[in-house]
Amino acid sequence: ASVDDKERQETEPALHVEVRSMLHSLFNKLDALSNYHYTPRPVAPEMKVISNVSAITMEEVAPVTVADSALLAPQEVKGKKQKGELKSKEEMTDTDKKRARRLKKTRQRQRQRDRLRAAKEISKINPGLGNKYSKLRAEKQVLDVTNNNNVTMVEESKEKTVKSSTAFFNKLQDEVKNQIKSKTTLKKKKNKWNITAKKLKL
């Protein structure tokens, strides 16, 4: 064996010999770590949650391949969760009806506020009655004023508007004649009443 070692040392290159010696020293160190004084870390206890359920569970009615979104109710798909259960009008109590009415009114007020805000913004961009929002606001103001008891709307006359000066003066003359005629008829009625009253006197 010694002869073979000598022959091998003669034939082997110096680099191989150096690598083998380094490996021997490494293996010795590893053996010292694992066998002599090295103790492995103790195994930590593992937490395991055991749920108290029956071994055999009932199968669900819905098939396994159906998506989760298909199993949700319509109000759950929308995302907005309602407080309490959905009720029809017949099932609702007085408090439920009042609550629904308050919610409806708040939504209406919010819509009105949004509409007014939009109208203000548009009137800033395009002021004047050329803007449809300005016209609507003017109509609303007129309606608010006429709703008061003190103010009455003057109805438009059915007569045609006078365009020429001759027609205007003719119309004026007719009005004066009608006034004079009405005064004379009233005076005649008064005189007639006086005559009949005198006759009735003793």
**Are 162 and 168 spatial neighbours (Cβ–Cβ below 8 Å)?**
yes
For 153-202, strand residue ranges (E) read none
Could you give the number of structural domains in the chain?
2
Supply the range of the domain harboring residue 29. Answer: 2-33
* Cut 0.95: pTM above it: no
Residue 47 lies in a domain: no
Tokens of 148: 């008061």
Q: Is 166 left (phi over 0), alpha (psi -120 to 50) or beta?
A: alpha
Tokens of 35: 């066998």
Residue 79 lies in a domain: no
The whole-number pLDDT of residue 202 equals 53
Residue 139 lies in a domain: yes
Residue 185 lies in a domain: no
Which of 153, 173, 171, 154 shows the shortest CA–CA distance to 162?
171
Task: Quote the CA–CA distance of 202 and 22 in Å, as a whole number.
Answer: 166
Residue 11 lies in a domain: yes
Domain termination site, one of 111, 133, 151 = 151
Residue 109 lies in a domain: yes
The whole-number pLDDT of residue 51 equals 72
Domain termination site, one of 151, 168, 185 = 151
Output DSSP code: residue 52. Answer: -
The whole-number pLDDT of residue 1 equals 46
One digit per residue, the tens of pLDDT, for the chain of length 202 reads 455 666 666 678 889 989 999 998 898 888 777 766 656 666 778 888 777 766 665 556 666 676 766 777 776 766 666 666 778 888 888 998 999 999 999 999 999 988 888 777 767 766 665 566 666 776 677 667 666 656 565 555 555 565 678 888 888 888 888 888 888 877 777 666 666 655 665 5
Residue 166 lies in a domain: no
Task: Quote the CA–CA distance of 20 and 13 in Å, as a whole number.
Answer: 11
Residue 177 lies in a domain: no
φ, ψ (nearest 5 deg) of residue 15: -65, -40
The whole-number pLDDT of residue 82 equals 61
Output DSSP code: residue 67. Answer: -
